[in-house]
């Protein structure tokens, strides 16, 4: 009697184990089909976005290399910049009378020109954006370029075109959500890939190796699996940060559930004073230096209206974002009065999280090493897509035809 009970229990265990295996096999087949479908269609877009991201990892250096005659200058043995007012005066003398100064960005390294952006209203009620470059050591204007002509994307220089493609697929800023949706699908596909990578026999080491002497089919499979598992974390970080930036309002809303996030800063308005001319840019920067005595002068947003203000950005060495700064000071253009201070040292946890999204996505938070990693990660979607497509193609050929 005891033996029969034991046999029945054993049969139940075997049946239960078979059902579990069947459910697992069905789940794997479903996940595999989803993984292949997303990879085949969304993956193609992901390849192009990844390649553009690889280029953009060193976008400033590439832009300067492509435009060296106007963006590069000879740095003297004892480098010393001319005053900001002299640099702006040289710009004003060279730009058209109807131009409106918008921003002065300081050279990012010795041998780079200062970049001044100005706007020109066109006859068709549009706005052209120009960049003028000035040698900061001599105030000589080295040249200028049309940065943007209305909504005509291809009027931009090459690097800005690639940047526009990278986050909108050239479909317009209002349609960036399309790329964001594709990125969400790819994010899900990578998570599914991690589930499918798990060896059924529990031997994790086999999932990390490439059998170089195996058949072509097995080699393609091993490369796809190994590249996926080794790069999965970095790819997920790139996708997550990209999705968070594309859907920025939603990201801010979710972040506020965990930590306060203040609205974008309002640097105030200048109060026009009859008979008084605006102060010079040098005086405005002197006001900012009292607030942030340390740090590199990164940019100056210039007042373009009678109530506009100077916004001076002083970038700290420990700031993760090198493209912009979150240490900004608003200054009244007539009195030099301090109007508003944005200090990243006073950021909440949620604000620091939002601050880190872009420098993590671009790798610039970790200098040349971080940028090199982003360049490498940008190439991995191509390897995954090619190997995945080859596997799909081989399986498609093996299917019986009716």
Q: For domain 263-347, give the CATH number.
A: 3.10.450
The span from the CA of 148 to the CA of 160, in Å, is: 9
What are the residue boundaries of the structural domains of the chain, listed by start? Answer: 31-58+170-259+364-398, 68-156, 263-347
Would you state the pLDDT for residue 147? Answer: 93
- Sheet of 338-343: strand order equals 141-149, 127-134, 114-121, 100-105, 296-301, 309-315, 327-332, 338-343
The span from the CA of 111 to the CA of 102, in Å, is: 23
Token duo for residue 258 = 């965990």
The span from the CA of 259 to the CA of 32, in Å, is: 38
Token duo for residue 1 = 């009697």
Q: Backbone dihedral region of 202: left (phi > 0), alpha (psi from -120 to 50 degrees) or beta?
A: left
> Which residue shows structure tokens 């080491």?
205
Q: Which 3 state secondary structure label does DSSP give 198?
A: coil
Q: How far is CA 178 from CA 53, 72, 169, 235, 323, in A?
A: 17, 37, 8, 19, 25
Q: Is 263-347 the same fold as 68-156?
A: yes
Q: How far is CA 51 from CA 73, 163, 375, in A?
A: 30, 11, 8
The span from the CA of 180 to the CA of 172, in Å, is: 13
Would you state the pLDDT for residue 245? Answer: 97
Q: How many other C-beta atoms lie within 10 A of the C-beta of residue 175?
A: 12
DSSP state of 40: H
**What is the Cα gyration radius of the chain?**
28
CA atoms within 13 A on the CB side of 182: 20
Would you state the pLDDT for residue 123? Answer: 74
> Which residue shows structure tokens 């994307």?
153
The span from the CA of 165 to the CA of 172, in Å, is: 9
Would you state the pLDDT for residue 53? Answer: 97
Nearest to 327 by CA among 295, 359, 302: 295
The span from the CA of 343 to the CA of 266, in Å, is: 13
The span from the CA of 288 to the CA of 341, in Å, is: 9
Residues of the chain falling short of pLDDT 50: none
Would you state the pLDDT for residue 393? Answer: 80
What's the pTM?
Answer: 0.89
Would you state the pLDDT for residue 221? Answer: 84
Nearest to 283 by CA among 335, 326, 247: 335
Say if residue 182 is exposed, middle or buried (CB neighbours under 10 Å; 0-12, 13-18, 19+).
Answer: buried
Would you tell me which CATH number, out of the four given (3.30.420, 3.20.20, 3.40.960, 3.10.450), belongs to the domain 68-156? 3.10.450
Q: Backbone dihedral region of 79: left (phi > 0), alpha (psi from -120 to 50 degrees) or beta?
A: beta
> Which residue shows structure tokens 């030099």?
336
The span from the CA of 102 to the CA of 387, in Å, is: 48
327-332 and 114-121 beta bridge pairing = unpaired
Nearest to 45 by CA among 168, 156, 161: 168
């Amino acid at each position: 009697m005891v033996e029969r009970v034991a046999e029945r229990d054993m049969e139940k265990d075997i049946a239960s184990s078979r059902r579990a295996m069947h459910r697992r096999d069905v789940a794997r087949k479903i996940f595999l089909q989803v993984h292949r479908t997303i990879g085949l269609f969304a993956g193609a877009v992901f390849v192009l976005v990844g390649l553009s991201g690889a280029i953009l990892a060193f976008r400033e250096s590439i832009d300067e290399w492509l435009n060296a005659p106007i963006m590069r200058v000879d740095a003297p043995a004892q480098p010393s910049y001319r005053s900001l007012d002299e640099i702006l005066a040289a710009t004003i003398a060279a730009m058209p009378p109807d131009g409106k100064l918008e921003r002065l960005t300081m050279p990012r390294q010795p041998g780079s020109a200062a970049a001044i952006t100005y706007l020109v209203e066109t006859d068709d009620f549009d706005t052209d954006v120009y960049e003028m470059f000035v040698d900061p050591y001599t105030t000589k204007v080295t040249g200028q370029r049309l940065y943007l002509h209305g909504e005509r994307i291809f009027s931009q220089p090459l690097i800005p075109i690639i940047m526009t493609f990278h986050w909108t697929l050239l479909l317009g800023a209002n349609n960036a959500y399309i790329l964001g949706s594709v990125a969400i699908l790819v994010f899900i596909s990578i998570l599914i890939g991690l589930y499918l990578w798990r060896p059924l026999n529990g031997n994790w080491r086999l999932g990390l190796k490439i059998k170089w002497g195996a058949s072509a089919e097995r080699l393609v499979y091993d490369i796809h699996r190994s590249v996926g598992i080794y790069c999965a974390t970095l790819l997920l970080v790139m996708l997550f940060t990209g999705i968070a930036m594309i859907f920025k309002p939603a990201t801010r809303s979710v972040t506020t559930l965990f930590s306060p996030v203040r609205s974008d800063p309002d640097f105030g308005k200048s109060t026009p004073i009859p008979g008084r001319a605006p102060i010079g840019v040098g005086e405005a920067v002197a006001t900012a230096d009292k607030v942030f005595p340390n740090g590199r002068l990164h940019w100056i947003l210039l007042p373009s209206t009678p109530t506009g203000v100077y916004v001076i950005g002083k970038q700290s060495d420990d700031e993760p974002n090198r493209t912009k700064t979150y240490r900004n000071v608003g200054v009244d253009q007539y009195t030099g009065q301090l109007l508003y201070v944005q200090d990243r040292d006073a950021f909440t946890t949620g604000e620091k999280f939002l601050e880190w999204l872009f420098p993590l996505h671009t790798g610039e938070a970790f200098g040349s090493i971080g940028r090199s990693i982003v360049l490498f990660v940008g190439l991995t979607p191509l390897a995954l897509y090619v190997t995945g497509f080859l596997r799909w193609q081989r399986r498609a050929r093996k299917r019986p035809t009716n």
